[in-house]
Chain A
Amino acid sequence: MKAFRNYTFAILAGFALLTACGSDGDSGPKTDYDRQAMLANYADNLIVPGYEAFKIESTELSTAIASFTANPTEATLANARKEYLDAYKVWQGVSVYGFGPADEQMLRTNLNSYPTSASKIESNISAVSYDLQAAANLDAKGFPAMDYLLYGKPTDGELIVLYTSGTNAAKRKKYLQDVANLVKQRAEATYSGWTTGNYAKTFKESAGTAVGSAVGNLVNEFNFEIDLTKRGKVGIPSGRLSANIARPETVEAYYSKNSLELLKRALIAEKASFMGVGLSGTNGPGLDDYLDHVNARYNNNLLSDAIEAQFDAAIAAINGVTVPLSQAVTSNPQAVSKLYEELQKLIVLTKTDMPSALGVAITYNDNDGD
């Protein structure tokens, strides 16, 4: 009977504590970390402004391409290339938010499937018609295709000739414009999904950390993006996935040789995303603060600090690569290896330690925590 009394007492005490503090908690903001404020920061200061900037850049790109195709000169080409690079860089900043409207638009695959297929592009151009929405044309459109179309010849003169007196010059102009317009359309659709489509509201009000929740999406896509950065931008070209035989032609922006700059932009954007730094440069509540809130630690220090430092190490390693990546994979493999290893360490921290500390689920299935 004594055991029973103790048991009853233990349970009643437990519930009494819970309810007592429950009513206490209702009276004021007691939660130290406001997940809703973090989500609002992501939506209002990072994602929506990011897509807005991308929409503007892609419109400018489309306009610059129109001027170039209307009058292909060195000046209009230079302008088109500048706008192309600007838009491509801004794209690196939003690529990490591949959920919701971006997922509906399949933005990542539609805009940045590389390496591009020059032969497919050429055969599309010479064909009577083509369907750029077809899955078969993923590697014949987007930024990688524009990279080929704007930089595919060793000199500016040779490239301009393709658009003036070359065979299929008219068709080539149309193809380039079609590709640019599609980028613009997708960018606009994604932006309006977040704004007029009200996805920002859904995102900000989403609760918990389960699969499909805002936090779940944020963390899972963040890791997907870092994995892609490591594997796609550095791993595949350096031969990591092909028995150590380098494949320089698979780098991002192969023709314009902007791979390293885009990689750096991607990592800076991923770091800003981790820290909740908005486009204006203000550091708001982000995943790093969330980690600090649960006191996630790595090697006796804060895990957030370790991740931040590892981002910096990876970005610094880019500087060690001094020539275009497509060259460096064969001429300077040590520097590329160093870069790859820093990215490997980064993904271990973000994909292993971070989701674990935040209790983020990755599958819909039932589990019992083992």
Chain B
Amino acid sequence: MAAPRLTSYLTAPVSAAPLAMFRIIFGGMMLASILRFMLKGWVTDLYVLPKVYFPYYGFEWVKPLGEAGMYALFGLMALSALGIMLGLFYRWSSVLFFLSFTYVELIDKTNYLNHYYFVSVVAFLMILVPAHRHFSLDVLRKPASWVSHVPRWAVLIFQLQLGLVYFYAGVAKLNPDWLLEAMPLRYWLPAHTHLPVIGQLLDKVWVAYLFCWFGAFYDLTIPLFLSWRKSRLLAYATVVVFHVLTAVLFQIGMFPYIMMVSTLIFFSAAFHEGILNWLRSFGRVHLPYKPAIAKVSLQPVLLNLLALHFILQVLVPWRFMLYPDKLFWTEQGYRFSWRVMLMEKTGTAFLYVKDPETGGETEINNRDYLTVAQEKQVSTQPDMLLQFAHIIREDFKSKGIPEPEVRAEVYVSMNGRGSRLLIDPSANLAAEKESFRPKPWILPFAEQHLQQEAVGQK
């Protein structure tokens, strides 16, 4: 590291209690999430039943493993989450959890959620820290491994990561639709007028504005207020209220609860030690009198790796600037950037396959290939449209048409704007290739006005 002072700050010993607590919380929440996912039958619905999948560019080799394989993988994931929570065989558990969870997420981008990405990132960071050397079963197995202190960076990286998530979620809200039009909350909130107490308010436009502005302010500033001792309690109370509200209003599963407990990492060492001591009192466990400081082997390498990680975390959400046109429209560079609850985007896609030899063109019934969820995502996201076109191309090739042409007539409504064509309906997607380059067949947002006549087959 260039700055020795920074290095000594980062490596200075701090209490291991916050990290151990974070490990327990993260492992516990993951275990609960995985069990919930399995109990809801989503393993079958999302990874067994679909006929086709939409892997990420460069990760096409990631495939579902069949019914038995997927349940085995989820079983392994649950076990490794349990291992993280208990701090048992921690290195194996954390590596296995990261790999199994990330593998499942890479199978189908239909199921992309910022919160799953967050879990993968945190799981990766968990591999790097000595979180199992305090208040863990590994310490019971090997008492000599116990430490009272860990290097500061081991706690700081989680605070930094959480802070980045909130901050970027806030930055993403600084757009005209959110701030000036109160979209999409203006459309989403009235669906909840049946709720007690606040229900009737959700019908009011000014309430949507209040939620939007407060949401943006909250996301941008909460990491700061959580870090600052004097504002911490109040800030945490806001975290709870904010996430409870989002849990009630939106269909976002475990995410609010995960955030509510993860942000406890901002609390003082004394707070975490208090909780752990209280837990210890049940087991009549006594701590050694002599403090022990964790010595992390390869620490300089890890610090460089983490520096790289955070540089990427800071830069990746800005990659959309390398692409032309409006991000919400093209979604080039949209994922992996903490853009949550920002868009109401709905589409209808008609795909056509042409046999160039006969000139005959066949309209596709999307549901012959796709699940409801896949159709919804395909209908608004150009990269998934391209993948779907290729799926159709391969299917028709296997039916004996050597060079099928595939085009898509796709109408998208975004944040209350009338539906309009998303991509060039005459582009032969069968001949287009996926890459990180801008997709020239996406129609520009500004110029594209409402389509008065159906394109259809002419």
Question: Which of B65-73, B148-156, B299-307, B341-349 forms contacts with chain A?
Answer: B341-349
**Roughly how many angstroms separate A367 CA and B255 CA in the complex, as a whole number?**
10
Asked if A365 and B42 make an inter-chain contact with CB atoms under 8 angstroms apart, the answer reads: yes
Chain A positions 1 through 23: 1 when the CB is less than 8 Å from some CB of chain B, otherwise 0: 10010011011001101100110
Question: Which of A104-112, A126-134, A147-155, A342-350 forms contacts with chain B?
Answer: A342-350
Contacts of A210 in B (CB 8 A): 191, 251
Contacts of B372 in A (CB 8 A): 362-363
Asked if B194 and A30 make an inter-chain contact with CB atoms under 8 angstroms apart, the answer reads: no
Chain A positions 345 through 361: 1 when the CB is less than 8 Å from some CB of chain B, otherwise 0: 10111011101111111
Chain B positions 360 through 393: 1 when the CB is less than 8 Å from some CB of chain A, otherwise 0: 1111110000001100100000000000000000
Given the interface contacts A347-B348, A353-B419, does A25 sit within 8 Å of B200 by beta carbon?
Answer: yes
Contact among B111, B204, B221, B350 for A344, CB-based, below 8 A: B350
Contacts of B254 in A (CB 8 A): 366
Asked if B114 and A367 make an inter-chain contact with CB atoms under 8 angstroms apart, the answer reads: no
**Roughly how many angstroms separate A360 CA and B207 CA in the complex, as a whole number?**
20
Asked if A208 and B191 make an inter-chain contact with CB atoms under 8 angstroms apart, the answer reads: yes
Asked if A359 and B376 make an inter-chain contact with CB atoms under 8 angstroms apart, the answer reads: no
Interface presence of B7 (CB below 8 A): no
Given the interface contacts A7-B225, A7-B231, A355-B346, does A17 sit within 8 Å of B210 by beta carbon?
Answer: yes
Q: Which size bracket describes the interface of B in this complex?
A: 35 or more
Interface presence of B432 (CB below 8 A): no
Contacts of B217 in A (CB 8 A): 10
Select from chain B the residue with minimum beta-carbon distance to A347: B348
**Roughly how many angstroms separate A368 CA and B361 CA in the complex, as a whole number?**
37
For chain A, the count of residues having a C-beta within 8 Å of the partner chain is: 67
Interface presence of B412 (CB below 8 A): yes
Q: Which of A210, A231, A369 has the most CB of B within 10 A?
A: A369
**Roughly how many angstroms separate A207 CA and B413 CA in the complex, as a whole number?**
25
Asked if A367 and B418 make an inter-chain contact with CB atoms under 8 angstroms apart, the answer reads: no
Asked if B250 and A299 make an inter-chain contact with CB atoms under 8 angstroms apart, the answer reads: no
Asked if A356 and B413 make an inter-chain contact with CB atoms under 8 angstroms apart, the answer reads: yes
Residues of B112-130 contacting chain A, CB below 8 A: 112-115
Contact among A4, A345, A353, A370 for B340, CB-based, below 8 A: A370
Given the interface contacts A367-B113, A369-B341, does A357 sit within 8 Å of B187 by beta carbon?
Answer: yes
Contact among A241, A303, A364 for B365, CB-based, below 8 A: A241
Point out residues on A near B: beta carbons under 8 Å.
1, 4, 7-8, 10-11, 14-15, 17-18, 21-22, 25-26, 30-33, 35, 207-210, 215, 231, 235, 240-245, 293-294, 296-299, 303, 337, 340-342, 344-345, 347-349, 351-353, 355-370
Q: Can you sample 30 A-B contacts with CB below 8 Å?
A: A1-B230, A14-B214, A15-B241, A18-B201, A25-B200, A240-B362, A242-B362, A293-B190, A298-B419, A299-B418, A337-B456, A341-B453, A342-B454, A347-B348, A352-B412, A352-B413, A353-B413, A356-B187, A359-B184, A359-B191, A362-B376, A363-B372, A366-B255, A367-B250, A368-B113, A369-B341, A370-B112, A370-B334, A370-B335, A370-B339
